[in-house]
Structure 1
């Protein structure tokens, strides 16, 4: 009985992943507004009831696409932030990893989709922000809080994240992508221009 249940759950997970993959291509290729549940069901080639059994709406399906893309992004960034105590080398590594993730094709496609259709469909703006940027900013703030007050950590998060997202937007308008050396130069310049607050005394730092 357990083996049958396990196989059934595995098949269900595989079907869900297949649906998310097809939906991703549709959202990125056609846009959010032009994508329909019926079209996705037709592309899957199965019963529409199967699609609806996994996802109750297009919004629910889009959320799964965002979660899928954000998970990989988060794993890469968390690797250089989670459990780290603030230092300039650690910040530099995190910023470079963040830029690398931001400039990956999947990240760029998702960003362009949200920006282009977020005004018409504000629900996808909120969905994307809560699942991606909001969680990432909280992670960055926690990193800064290992050396600065909560208020200063929030200010530093706003400055660094905004600078890197702005850099990504600038890059997307260029005919050529920046090299690793270009990205390193930007990160070094950004860190050098920040008005760094006084760090908390060592006795106030978390153990």
Structure 2
């Protein structure tokens, strides 16, 4: 399969097409998602779909990047620079967990990884609108908290942000991604977040 060709064009039913494609891609993957199925799910004709997306690869990339951006933005809306560090990071962690453990989050991640060899730019976009977007939103908060005296001076705030993001995924993400277990109780999810906060603040908290 060659790289996607053509240009995306927007129209009245653009969002409708994206939503239909999102459902089909997550259910059937890239290869199994036919244009006929996507058009049917979106409630449009194939001609309309092709008028917006002349290549299925372009449609897939748009769905993936839009979904990553939407979920990342939902997570960082919880960042209030004036609230205590533990409270803000807990809210961000909860939003991150909600997405990554959901059917949508797992499905999108698997598809992006599976198709990154076919579409190298997809990996770059996934990273840009997912992990990097969250990191870039956490870093200013950490710097602000340092200025307020809640955190010690952090030599590498970007690394610290990544460290916190990874701590929030401990055990749960790997088991869920590999299909071993996904239905974690609220208590178990909270335990992971509590541990992430305790470890992060033990390293960077001003009172540690």
Under TM normalisation by the shorter chain, which class is it? 0.7 to 0.9
CA drift at 1:104: 2.0
CA drift at 1:72: 4.1
Q: What runs of 5+ residues in structure 1 fail to find an aligned partner?
A: 1-11, 200-207
- Equivalent residue, structure 1, for 2:184: 178
- Equivalent residue, structure 2, for 1:78: 76
**Aligned-residue RMSD, C-alpha:** 3.0
Matched ranges for 1:162-177 at <5 A: 162-172=166-176, 173=178, 174-177=180-183
Q: What runs of 5+ residues in structure 2 fail to find an aligned partner?
A: 1-10, 147-152
Query: Do the aligned residues in 2 keep the contact of 1:19 with 1:51 (CA within 8 Å)?
Result: yes
User: Runs of 4+ in structure 1 displaced over 3 angstroms?
Assistant: 33-49, 82-86, 148-152, 165-168, 173-176
Tell me the number of residue pairs that the alignment of Structure 1 and Structure 2 aligns: 188
1:159 to 141, 159, 163: 163
Give the TM-score normalised by the residue count of structure 2.
Answer: 0.73
Give the TM-score normalised by the residue count of structure 1.
Answer: 0.73
* Aligned-partner Cα distance in 1 for 2:85–2:132: 23
Query: Do the aligned residues in 2 keep the contact of 1:67 with 1:131 (CA within 8 Å)?
Result: yes
* Aligned-partner Cα distance in 2 for 1:33–1:130: 24
* Aligned-partner Cα distance in 2 for 1:93–1:40: 35
